[in-house]
Structure formats: structure tokens, C-alpha cells
Structure 1
Amino acid sequence: MSAPPVADLAAGTWWMTHRRLSALLRNPAVLVLTLSQPVIWLFLFGGLFQKVAELPGFGASSYLDYIVPGVVVMNAVSLNSFAGMATMDEIERGTLDRFLVTPVRRGAIVNAGVVEQALSTAFQSVVIILLGWAAGADYPGRPAGLAVLVAASVLIGVVLAALSNTLALLVRDRNAIIGLNVMLLLPLTFLSSAFMAEDLMPSWIRHVAAANPVSWALDAARATLSADPDWSSAALHGAWLLALTAATVALATYSVRSYQRSR
């Protein structure tokens, strides 16, 4: 008797994830080198704009305290936006085609990428949080608030990774992936509350930020990092982000099937 579909999916996810993590562990320098940019953001922006916290209505006593969640989430966006390039590598080497003729479920192929990106994002998020703490950042809502920040960064990272992989599977063009990600990275970041409090934004940017998933991740994290956590706000923004994550992972799974049908 064959195994239940859920068991097949779990087993396939396990083996596919093991394969991807083994490749990552053979080249751990990638995780370290990609941390250089968020470290620059953290210390450059944290020092350059420290006086911003003195503006009336900013809502934070220290700009460094405010910017750490912004850098954590921005790094998750940047790190995962180019996940489709790894998918392009597998397409060009023929690896993906070989997996598609095996019994492994298509969802397992997508889930393995999700798990790899989630673990990479969580690791880098923790490193940034520790660097911020070493520089003097305070986290009144810890440890629960820090756990929410890491979880929010993972979710927004998975959203971007799933979209990047979907683009790779449907378009199969590296230049399209690079162009779209470059076009989206700055608007997603600066039309959010990553580096500026919403109360100090122009009205139109504030309205755009309210619909920006990057702001959902930041709002969920900051709501729980404060000395007086607002768990209802965190739950609301977290639910929106979780729903978007599920939708984009489902879209990536559909894209694998679409890619297979086109072969």
C-alpha cells in the first residue's frame, strides 16, 4: 500500500531540503558575505540619522533601536529576492528536469527552497539583532518580541523567494529576475516604515506603506518589541503576512507544474 500523500510530501521535503542544505553548508561563506550590506546599513544609517529620533512624533528614543527591525526585514527582502537565480541554475543544468521525472511531489521541491531560505534568513536576522545589541540597541520586548521579528523576517523572505522562483520558472530569464528585483527592492523598502516612522511620512507614502507587506512585517515586529507590546496589532499584521506567504508558496508550486507541462 502506498504512503499517504502527506507522508509523501513530508518525506520528499525532507530529502530535498537535506540536499539543498548540504550544498549550502559546503559553501557557508555565502551567508557571511551577504551580511556585509545589512551591516553597512545598520552602522551607517544608524550613525548618520541618529538625530532623527529627536524629531517630535518620531516615537522612539533611539534611532538605532528603530532601525534594527528595519535592517532585519530589509535584509530578508534583499537576500530572498534573488532566490530565483538558484532555480535558474537548476533549470540550466537540467537538475530540475531530472527531479520532475522522479516520484517526488512538486510541493516538496518548492518546500525545500522555502525551508532553506527560511533558515538562512533566520540565521542572518539573529546575527543582525546581536550586532545591533552590541552597538547599543535596546529591545524592551525581548525575547518574545525578538522571536516575532525573526519570524516576520522569515515570512517576508519566503514571500519574496517564492515570487522570485515563480518568475524563474515562468520566464526563465536571469535578466528579467535581476531587473524586476532591482525595480522592486527600493520601493518595497522606502515606501515602508523601515527607516522612517509612519507619522512623519507624507500622506501618500503613509497610505502606500499601509498596503506594503514589508510594513506588515515591521509593524508586527515593532508592536511586540516595545516596552508595552501590542499583541493584537502584531496578530493582525502577522495574519496578513501569513496569508500572503501561503498564497505565494502555492503560486510557486503551481509554477513548477506549469514548467513541467511546458517541457
Structure 2
Amino acid sequence: MTTATTAGTDAQDLAPVSAESLAELLIAKERPPRPSALSASLTFGWRAILKIKHVPEQLFDVTAFPVMMVLMYTYLFGGALAGSPSEYIQYLLPGILVMSVVMITMYTGVSVNTDIEKGVFDRFRTLPIWRPAVMVGYLLGDALRYTIASVVMLVVGLIMGFRPDGGVLGVLAAIVVLLVFSFAFSWIWTMFGLLLRTEKSVMGVSMMVIFPLTFLSDIFVKPETMPGWLQAFVNNNPVTHVASAVRGLMEGDWPTSAVLWSLGWAALLIAVFGPVTMRLYNRK
């Protein structure tokens, strides 16, 4: 009896809501302005960074993996290829830096595919924002991962005896070139993330592309030591151009040709895979 009386009293206390009063409430204030392309991209970039904050295990591939690569290749092959590990690391470290960062770019496609499977993309497409902001946000967030990997590699290299003759300016320029190329290279994986059905298939296809590009380059040895037919591929490999640019900048040589090739490849990758990615995103 008491419950029924209370319910009746509450019902009487509630004011009736009419369509007119609800409309007045909704249009009482001005509609907020549509976010700019930069603002929307930075917001989705911050979302990608928050993922790292809540799942710090994601940083394993940008910390432990690069360190393992440097230690393994330096002490396993240094004596055979350069006479001593201390000599070999001067040539190897810039190349391993490029290899490690290029390899972790594939996780951009994995993240895209995971969000598609969870249905998050359906919500993003209903938002009144610049359409490419979602994809650019992924890439901006991953740029932080690339920077962390670069810093970790350089610190380990300095401890092991690597000495960049280019100084701080040369090292910073090398990292900038690497980040620009990695940002452009990641558009390939966003395309695969939208095109393929599962994250396992994204990783499988990514490894099939990355392994030939990284191992058939000048990361480990100079192209002059290879057969002529293989040199033709290695010398025109975009990873070779980036590794040569990074190595030259750290050595203080400032290789204009390699830097221009690296930036040219970056522009070409964005021009080709950017529109393809957005077409797939709009049709997904």
C-alpha cells in the first residue's frame, strides 16, 4: 500500500513534458561549431595514445624487441662482417633503427581491423567530422610509438659504443626523416586493415611485405657485396633509401639524394594509399 502511494505521489510531482518544451530545450543554445580537420585528427590521435596508457603491454614491441635485435645482430654477426661488434654497430644501428620502426608500423592496420570488428567504426562514421581524421588519428598516435622505439634504440646503441658523428642535429634530422616515412608507410596497413577480415590475416600479409623490404636492403651489409641482380632490387628499395638517409645523417654526411628519395617515397605512398584507404573506409 505504501509503495503504491509513493509511486502515485511521484507521478503527480513529475511535470508533463510536451513536444514544444522539449524542442525549446534542444534549440535553446547555438549548435557547437564543427571541429576542424586538425582538431578532429588530434582528438583521434589522443584516443590512440590513451590505448597505450590503458594497455601498456603494447609498448613491448617498441622496447624489448628493438633491444633484442640490436644485441643479437651486433654480437652474432659483428665479428664476421666487420671484424668486431664495436665496428659493426656503427653501420648496423641506423639500419636496425629503420627496420624496427618499419616493422611496428603494421600494428596500425591491426588496430584498424580490431575497431572494425568491435563496431566502433560505425559510430565514427556518424560523427560530423572530417572523414580522414579517424585514419590520421591512428597514424599520429602510432608516431609516438615510433619515437619511443627510436629513443630506446639510440640509448642502447650509445651504451654499446655507437657514436653518431652528426651530433644531436644529425640524429634529430634522421629521426624526423624516419618518422615521416613511417607515417606514410603506415597507410599501406590501414588499407589492409579495412580490406582484410581478421587481424591475423592483416599481420600475415604485413609480414609478407615487410620481410623482403627490410632484409633485402642495405640494413645489414652494403649492396656492393651482393650479386648484381640483387643489387638492382636493393638499390631501388625504399627501405634502402631510408636506411641510407638515416645512416648518412647520423654520420654527419647529410646525403641529399637519399633524403630526397625517402621523402619522395613518403609522398608517393600517401598519394597512392591514402585515397584508396579513404575509399574503402567510406564503403566499409
CA distance in 2, matches of 1:36, 1:18: 24
Task: For 1:142, give the aligned amino acid.
Answer: G
1:10 and 2:34 equivalent? Answer: no
Task: For 2:225, give the aligned amino acid.
Answer: L
C-alpha distance 61-37 of structure 1, shift in aligned 2 (>3 A): closer
Contact 2:95 2:220 in 1 (8 A): yes
TM norm structure 2? 0.80
Higher deviation after alignment, 193-202 or 168-177: 168-177
1:70 corresponding residue in structure 2: 95
CA distance in 1, matches of 2:206, 2:249: 30
CA distance in 2, matches of 1:218, 1:197: 11
C-alpha distance 70-256 of structure 1, shift in aligned 2 (>3 A): closer
1:217 corresponding residue in structure 2: 242
1:41 corresponding residue in structure 2: 69
1:26 corresponding residue in structure 2: 54
C-alpha distance 254-33 of structure 1, shift in aligned 2 (>3 A): closer
Contact 1:156 1:214 in 2 (8 A): no
CA distance in 2, matches of 1:88, 1:130: 33
TM norm structure 1? 0.86
Task: For 1:248, give the aligned amino acid.
Answer: L
CA distance in 2, matches of 1:260, 1:167: 11
Secondary structure of 2:217's counterpart equals: coil
Gaps of 5+ in 2: 1-30
RMSD: 2.7
Tell which structure's C-alpha radius of gyration is larger.
Answer: 2
1:79 and 2:107 equivalent? Answer: no
1:236 and 2:257 equivalent? Answer: yes
In the TM superposition, 1:199-218 aligns within 5 A as: 199-218=224-243
Higher deviation after alignment, 187-196 or 138-147: 138-147
- CA shift digits 1:214-251 (9 cap, x unpaired): 1111111122222xx332x2x33223322332343344
Contact 2:187 2:269 in 1 (8 A): yes
Secondary structure of 1:103's counterpart equals: coil
- CA shift digits 1:89-116 (9 cap, x unpaired): 1111111121111111122112211211
**Pick aligned residue for 1:112 from 133, 137, 157:** 137
Contact 2:95 2:247 in 1 (8 A): no
Task: For 1:230, give the aligned amino acid.
Answer: D
Identity in percent: 25
Secondary structure of 2:43's counterpart equals: helix
**Pick aligned residue for 2:165 from 135, 140, 146:** 140
C-alpha distance 222-33 of structure 1, shift in aligned 2 (>3 A): closer
Gaps of 5+ in 1: none
Tell me the matched-pair count. 254
C-alpha distance 192-256 of structure 1, shift in aligned 2 (>3 A): closer
2:279 corresponding residue in structure 1: 258
